[in-house]
């Protein structure tokens, strides 16, 4: 089962981090660059493109430059982050604040849905991908990246060791799903020919507090609803910092990030999709119904 997330905490954390995000989101920009390369699989230029979880909107601007005739929509749940999207009067990008689980777009109205390091904060992937499927046109293209379970495993282990004297068992670092579950959720939602792969990145820091400050600066705080509320005691925090020292190599502390990439195509018209109640919904072009009317 996908771990739960406190969506209010996610939205608030990224809203608070809007001003500091770009200065610290080095990994996010690199993954963004690699995910944008996957758009080369598209043979025809799209008409309408959605950058879901757009952050400051760099990918949306890149796609607007790439496809000059397309309408590009930048969507984010955090309004302060969305306000960081730069306006370009020559090549405007539409900005929309919305929840990814309930997209304010008509059925089959999006040609390309791009989402970089966003969906790890959403707990029901099958339902989310069904919403993606709903707004994508038949044979529309989906490209996404998300964090996998190895992400920040060093920090998770350090906090677990620091918790031992206190008896605390609440999580300090959010848990993310593995590549198999991402693939299963895509298939469950009816996407065709999904391709998934993963790679690991290692960022290094002089000390653990530097890593923790950076996570806060990009909004990547603990969003597990089982987390301990309130301030962490100084002694508890110090134990976690000391426990992290066990990972030091060559004078620096590593922080591992597992990034999962996926791309897939929405199916042809008439293929059923999962309904919100669990049943299947099929749609057909009106032309396919001709001849069935009786006078």
Q: What tens digit of pLDDT does each residue of 9-63 get?
A: 788 888 998 999 999 999 999 999 999 999 999 989 999 999 999 999 999 999 9
Tokens of 247: 């990972």
Contact, 150 vs 173, CB < 8 A?
no
Place of tokens 């999580």: 171
Distances from the Cα of 222 to the Cαs of 10, 61, 146, 209, 281, in angstroms? 8, 29, 16, 15, 36
Distances from the Cα of 221 to the Cαs of 17, 18, 225, 288, in angstroms? 10, 13, 12, 50
Task: Please report the pLDDT score of residue 220 as a whole number.
Answer: 80
CATH of the structural domain 7-268, one choice from 3.30.930.10, 3.40.50.150, 3.40.640.10, 3.40.50.970: 3.40.50.150
Task: Please report the pLDDT score of residue 271 as a whole number.
Answer: 67
Tokens of 12: 């608030």
Beta pairing partners, 182: none
Contact, 89 vs 63, CB < 8 A?
no
Q: What is the pTM assigned to this prediction?
A: 0.87
Tokens of 239: 């134990």
Task: Please report the pLDDT score of residue 288 as a whole number.
Answer: 38
């Amino acid at each position: 089962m996908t771990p739960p997330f406190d969506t209010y905490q996610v939205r608030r954390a990224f809203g608070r981090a809007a001003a500091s995000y770009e200065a610290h989101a080095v990994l996010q920009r690199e993954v963004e660059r690699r995910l944008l390369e996957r758009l080369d699989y598209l043979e025809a230029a799209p008409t309408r493109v959605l950058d879901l979880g757009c952050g400051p909107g760099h990918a949306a601007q890149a796609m607007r430059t790439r496809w000059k005739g397309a309408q590009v929509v930048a969507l984010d749940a955090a309004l302060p982050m969305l306000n960081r999207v730069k306006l370009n009067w020559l090549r405007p990008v539409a900005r929309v604040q919305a929840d990814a689980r309930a997209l304010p777009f008509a059925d089959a109205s999006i040609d390309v849905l791009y989402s970089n390091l966003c969906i790890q904060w959403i707990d029901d992937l099958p339902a989310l991908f069904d919403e993606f499927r709903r707004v994508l046109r038949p044979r529309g293209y989906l490209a996404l990246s998300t964090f996998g379970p190895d992400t920040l495993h060093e920090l998770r282990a350090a906090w677990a060791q620091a918790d031992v004297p206190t008896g605390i068992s609440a999580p300090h670092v959010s848990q993310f799903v593995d590549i198999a579950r991402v693939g299963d959720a895509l298939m469950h939602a009816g996407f065709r020919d999904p391709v998934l792969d993963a790679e690991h990145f290692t960022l290094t820091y002089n000390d653990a507090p530097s890593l923790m400050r950076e996570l806060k600066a990009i909004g990547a705080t603990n969003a597990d609803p089982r987390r301990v509320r309130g301030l962490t005691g100084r002694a508890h925090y110090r134990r976690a910092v000391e426990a992290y020292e066990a990972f030091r190599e060559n004078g620096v502390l590593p922080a591992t990030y597992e990034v999962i990439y996926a791309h897939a195509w929405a199916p042809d018209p008439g293929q059923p999709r999962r309904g919100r109640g669990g049943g299947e919904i099929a749609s057909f072009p009106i032309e396919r119904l001709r001849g069935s009317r009786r006078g």
